[in-house]
Amino acid sequence: MKRNHSAARALACALVLVCALVASASAQQLITPAAAPNDEGYSAKIKEYTTEKYFLTELVDHLPASATVPTTEKVLGYVAGAPNKLTYTKDLYRYYRALADASPRVRVFTAPEKSEEGREQLLIAISDEANLQKLDRYKEITARLADPRRTTDAEAQALIGEGKAMYWASGSIHSPETGSPEMLMEMAYRLAVEDSPFYDAIRKNLIVLITPVLEVDGRDRMVDVYNYRKANPGKNSPGLLYWGKYVAHDNNRDGLGMALALTRNMMKTFLEYHPTILHDLHESVPFLYTSTGTGPYNAWLDPLVVDEWHLLAYHEIEEMTKRGVPGVWTHGFYDGWAPNYMFYVANGHNSIGRFYETFGNGGADTMDRTVTQQAQRDWFRPNPPQPRVKWSMRNNVNMQQSAILLAMHFVAENKDRFLNNFYIKSKRSVAKAANEGPAAYVVPGDTPRPVEAAEMVNLLRLMGVEVQRATGEFTAKLPVAETRAARGGGEQGEGGAREGQGAATRTPAPMTERKFPAGSYIIRMDQPYSRMADMLLDTQYYNVNDPRPYDDTGWTLGALRNVETVRVTSKDVLGVPMEMLKEDARVRGRLTGRGAAYVVNNNTDNTLATLRFRLKDVKLSVAEDAFKVGTQSFNAGSYIIKAEGNPGDLRDRLEAAVTDLGLNAVAADAVPAVKTHDVGLPRIAILHTWQNTQNEGWFRVEFDKLQVPYSYISDHDIRDTPALRAKYDVIIFPPVGGSAQAIVNGIPLRGDPIPWQQSTVTPNMGNSPDTTADMRGGMGLAGVANLQRFVQEGGLFVAVQNTARVPLDYGITTGVTIADARQLQAAGSVYNATFSDRKSPIAYGYGETLPIYFNQAPLFQVAPPPGAGGGGGGAGQRPSGRGSLTDPDIVQAMPQAGPPPQRPPARPGEEQLTDEQRLQLGPFYTPPAERPRVVLRFARDERNLLVSGMLAGGQELANRPAIVDVPVGRGHVVLFANNPMWRHETQGSFFLLFNAALNFDHLDAGRDAAPAQPRPSADEDQQ
């Protein structure tokens, strides 16, 4: 391959360009091409791989030649976007390092953390050589603009003049979206090599940052999958089952939890550079969607950033449309509401987060594609994609690269404007406490869950939010309504979180005062990243008449983590004596005294689960009721560890463990006189299918973090293991979509085996959490039978959300069904729930109520036994006749019968039957001990349901069972309507699952002692 060129070829190239220009609107508005020679071979291939001229622009229809700086063709052997070529991360990195070695305009850095599988994530910086030499100075400038508390307006203006905007492009967070890593290599080359006023402006005014691949583990597996497909034409090939170690597409929903290395890398890098723009490159809809969203937009952002989204999007649309490129549009596609996307490391921090969706083929094949919906012209899409198109990887590369270069140029030309906007947004974030409010959030220092409270403020600190601690007791003024709403709901019978907020004119709310102890965390809203903190801790209201939500609508972190978070509007709180946390909050637990037994309160701090497994050889029991040691109260479910019968070094080891885990243990002179049962070390399995691993990965994240051991098994293990009970005590089946049939049957057994394992063409698959020689087939009926036997022999099977369909529809359980929603609109939100059976071990350690994450389904109904008459008491119980609803019917012309016998009030899950009815039911009569036990219910009153998010048709959800414990043989099936381990956000619900697992062989505890109470409502089973 030669990079020499002839004058004739240059002329031919120029003519092609002119032809392209003639076809479009106006030549003057387009970019003057470089005077320098082109790499003719490379340029010819660009044209060859592009299916239509109108998918090229003058920016990407050629590649400038360089005598010193290598192209991808030189280093890797192919042109970026070449058919049949996807590049592994190691080769991407090899290219960038070669580029940096050859060009003083390119530098390579390494992100702070390696991926979960140990891969590097690179960060590339490209600018003028002089700018790169002063990179630290430019980082200092953006840092000072980011924090107006230490920068005056005059200083800021000088800094803006001196500073550079930073434009950060990130590739392939979504592994099947394969084009951006290829495109970014070529763009980096162009930015380093091409000399023209267009590129000079970019290099002079911008520092371009590139993250070549975000999901590095998933990228390499995707290249494996693609290469397998190419090596096995005509055969079934695997879909990309595993992306990262834990989650797939949801790696772009980690912006709230930051559980994944890739998100933390982006956050830490942001806080180091304060880039002006973070631009995430995605692929889905044709041909190029540039983000603005449909709204409702996130209500905590400075409106200026919303304007900037539109400004940038419409600039690209105009420039691309000018060039005759079809199908570049905005609006539509997603809403702009939830802050759980990766690019909130920018949007949530006063910078601009944006993304593209370009058309991707999922690999590097050229193919004919049909465009359906997006081919329609619409008000927001006057220039739609064509309905039928031959599409290539190169087309995708051209679209992404042309548009993002145009955006970079626009920002370069307007860098003072964007830097100034950044400064304005930062200033207004600091002014928030005094302006729109609130003044602060307070996490009370006497929170019952100190470990989770510390985890929550540490998450905020990871996001760059400053957290303070009160140095003494203080009092804060609170509106009466706020004291209730801010608790993350849960206060049944009091006003809901929305109370009064719809009023057109606001009258000052009545105020009350509340004392907070020393050590309370205070998150001030007069700091640069107040908006991020506010959007995480506040409550959300999503109007059901808004466009359909794209993702979750509510996420209030305090509620989901079951950590009380108080919104304080009174500015007095800012004057409270406090000091800044200089490092992460860490709760040091302690053990006091020495005695016959040690007691650890069950406060549902999640490290309690860690403690049980850390003290493997220690015998431990839990209290079935609340009790006291001296004056100290302990919840049901508290650990009681006797000195007798345990290792001699028990006290030392317990002390070390509780100190480390932030738990408090107390010695008791005598073993507390409370009913207990032993808690061993349950052998837990987390079950995945070979169809989808998205949701179960979030469960593995938590078990790994908390060091709770588990076996990771597939539905094939269930199918092939008749004696499951010999291996496991607890099998947890996290959510998988589809019908019970679809889950049980798995990938159809047609065609060839589909391996997911290491081979010469798939070298990265062996690292996957699980491997198989054939992904086809699910657990099958054999697996259902094995599961049934497992439960009957004393195992606990936990099904969450949709996987509940398997035990329900296949009849492992009876007495529970799933109702269809008719009116309910409850997309990914936080709802109040109440423990309806606090004696159940699943409720151990919890208060009366708990806010939970629920997403539309399932709606459980626990059927009364046949003949129980729906619980009685409602209208329609008597025929039309004399008197009132409650009067007995009087039949004429006969002696009147006496009233029917009074039945005692039913216990939860125990309906009232007369002896006569029991006889009639025969074998269908379910004795109370075998009936489903409703442990947690959604709030009884529809008006109290919603904490955060959306709700319509709430009467279908109100009072519904959220957790049902169904006895089956000697074991149990526990059904969750809520997801207790969702996206590292629902820490407050984890212990529901841990309680169930730890007490798997004593789940019937407290059943007999359930307090008598009337059935909550008669209509439960008629919805």
| Contact residues for Zn ion, defined by CB under 5 A | 174, 177, 282
Which of 449, 433, 434, 432 lies closest to 565, judged by CA? 449
Kindly give, in sequence order, each residue whose CB lies less than 8 Å from that of residue 118, ignoring residues fewer than 6 positions away. none
**Taking the complex as a whole, how short is the minimal distance between the CB of residue 489 and Zn ion, in angstroms?**
33
Kindly give, in sequence order, each residue whose CB lies less than 8 Å from that of residue 174, ignoring residues fewer than 6 positions away. 215, 218, 243, 249, 251, 252, 282, 283
Q: How far is CA 180 from CA 170, 373, 579, 1011, in A?
A: 8, 24, 45, 61
Kindly give, in sequence order, each residue whose CB lies less than 8 Å from that of residue 970, ignoring residues fewer than 6 positions away. 792, 793, 794
307 CA to centre of own chain: 26
Name all contacts of 747-755 with Cβ < 8 Å and 24+ positions apart: 747/690, 747/691, 747/775, 747/776, 747/777, 747/778, 748/776, 749/776, 749/777, 750/236, 750/776, 751/235, 751/236, 752/232, 752/235, 752/236, 753/236, 754/236, 754/237, 754/238, 755/238
**Taking the complex as a whole, how short is the minimal distance between the CB of residue 225 and Zn ion, in angstroms?**
16
Q: What's the distance, Cα to Cα, between the start and end of the chain in Å? A: 73
Closer of 177 and 956 to Zn ion (Cβ): 177
**Taking the complex as a whole, how short is the minimal distance between the CB of residue 207 and Zn ion, in angstroms?**
26
Which of 223, 244, 25, 262 lies closest to 117, judged by CA? 244
Closer of 73 and 177 to Zn ion (Cβ): 177
Coil vs helix vs strand at 610: helix
What's phi and psi for 414, nearest 5 deg? -120, 35
Asked if 799 and 973 count as a contact pair (C-beta separation under 8 A), the reply is yes
**Taking the complex as a whole, how short is the minimal distance between the CB of residue 791 and Zn ion, in angstroms?**
39
Structure tokens at 618: 């220690």
**Taking the complex as a whole, how short is the minimal distance between the CB of residue 86 and Zn ion, in angstroms?**
16
CB atoms within 10 A of CB 388: 10
Closer of 282 and 531 to Zn ion (Cβ): 282
**Taking the complex as a whole, how short is the minimal distance between the CB of residue 327 and Zn ion, in angstroms?**
18
**Taking the complex as a whole, how short is the minimal distance between the CB of residue 173 and Zn ion, in angstroms?**
7
Closer of 212 and 864 to Zn ion (Cβ): 212
**Taking the complex as a whole, how short is the minimal distance between the CB of residue 171 and Zn ion, in angstroms?**
11
* Length of the chain in terms of residues written: 1023
Q: What does the longest C-alpha to C-alpha distance in the chain come to?
A: 118
Q: How far apart are CA 420 and CA 415, in angstroms?
A: 8
Closer of 313 and 708 to Zn ion (Cβ): 313
**Taking the complex as a whole, how short is the minimal distance between the CB of residue 282 and Zn ion, in angstroms?**
3
Q: How far apart are CA 582 and CA 580, in angstroms?
A: 6
Q: Which helix (H) or strand (E) holds 407?
A: helix 393-413
What's phi and psi for 150, nearest 5 deg? -115, 25
Closer of 178 and 429 to Zn ion (Cβ): 178
Closer of 177 and 624 to Zn ion (Cβ): 177
Closer of 212 and 980 to Zn ion (Cβ): 212
Closer of 64 and 179 to Zn ion (Cβ): 179
**Taking the complex as a whole, how short is the minimal distance between the CB of residue 367 and Zn ion, in angstroms?**
19
Burial-class residue 328 by CB neighbours within 10 Å (0-12, 13-18, 19+). Answer: buried
**Taking the complex as a whole, how short is the minimal distance between the CB of residue 857 and Zn ion, in angstroms?**
25
Structure tokens at 115: 């991926």
DSSP letters for 628-657: EETTEEE-TT-EEEESTTS-TTHHHHHHHH
Closer of 242 and 1000 to Zn ion (Cβ): 242
Closer of 266 and 481 to Zn ion (Cβ): 266
**Taking the complex as a whole, how short is the minimal distance between the CB of residue 290 and Zn ion, in angstroms?**
14
Closer of 177 and 308 to Zn ion (Cβ): 177
**Taking the complex as a whole, how short is the minimal distance between the CB of residue 177 and Zn ion, in angstroms?**
5
Closer of 282 and 972 to Zn ion (Cβ): 282
